[in-house]
Amino acid sequence: VKKQEEDREELHKLEEMRERLIRGLEIHGTEEKVLKAMLRVPRHIFVPEYARRGAYIDTPLDIGFGQTISAPHMVAIMCDLLELSEGLKVLEIGTGSGYNAAVMGELVGQSGHVYTVERIEPLVNFARENIKKAGYENVTILLDDGSVGYSSYAPYDRIVVTCAAPDIPEPLLEQLKPGGIMVIPVGEYTQELIRIKKDNEGNIHKEKRGGVVFVPLIGKYGF
């Protein structure tokens, strides 16, 4: 009984920390629906056990294999730029912990779907466990080189790359639907976050959305 009480208290503490963190993201001008989605996803489930207390600090955290779970404000910025809504089909390159996929899963709802590709097998297993614990059925995690996209489920309404590419991979542009949006960090040591909109005629429009730092995209169209 004492253990159950302690667990309940710990959970309550984590929930309070989450509320404080996410409300703090309002200063970035994050849309309310993105904040609401982030309030619903328990980030502490997506970090290794030893880092739990750090889950509600606005910082990237080590998830092993030289990789990180992105900082919450970066997740918020990317989800905002993607203009996510119910029913959309999303492709993410770089699953990592699965946290960003879960937040996007909240935003696209049961009528939408998130396909997310990761190249490191133990991280695929880690993310699958996390997604299962958090209870998302609209997120599918795939083991592959995502620098070529994932043609089996293409085309996608939205594509997000959560690692830095040397250039915008051509297959990703092809797998984006007309009217679709892609967000991708491009550059070697530091990167520019680029938002790409494909219009209904298939023309590509690019916008620079600020400097960022991500781990590299490794693969055929990566470094």
Tell me which residues touch ligand SAM (CB under 6 A): 67-70, 93-94, 96-97, 99-100, 117-120, 123, 145-147, 162-163, 214-215, 217-219, 222
Question: How far apart are CB 118 and ligand SAM at their closest, in Å?
Answer: 5
Residue 112: partners with Cβ closer than 8 Å, 6 or more residues away? 86, 87, 88, 89, 90, 105, 138
Peptide bond into 42 cis (omega under 30): no
Please compute Rg for the chain using Cα positions.
17
87 in Cβ contact with 113 (< 8 Å): no
Task: Give least dist CB 100 to ligand SAM, A.
Answer: 3
Tokens of 19: 């509320």
Rounded to 5 degrees, what angle do the CA atoms 158, 163, 165 make?
A: 90
DSSP string computed for 44-100: GGGS-GGGGGGTTSSS-EEEETTEEEPPHHHHHHHHHHHT--TT-EEEEE--TTSHH
Determine which one of 70, 85, 151, 152 is catalytic: 70
Nearer to ligand SAM, 179 or 182 (CB): 182
Provide the minimum distance between the beta carbon of 142 and ligand SAM in the complex, in angstroms, as a whole number: 9
Here the tokens at position 179 are 């009217």
70: annotated active-site residue: yes
Provide the sign of the torsion angle of the four alpha carbons 42, 10, 65, 212, taken in this order.
positive
Closer CB to ligand SAM, residue 56 or residue 214?
Answer: 214
d(CA 204, CA 197): 6
Q: Tell me if residue 142 falls in helix, strand or coil.
A: strand
- Considering the complex, state which of residue 126 and residue 157 has its C-beta at the smaller distance from ligand SAM: 126
Nearer to ligand SAM, 49 or 201 (CB): 49
Nearer to ligand SAM, 178 or 210 (CB): 210
Which token pair is 205?
């429009």
Active site positions, annotated: 70
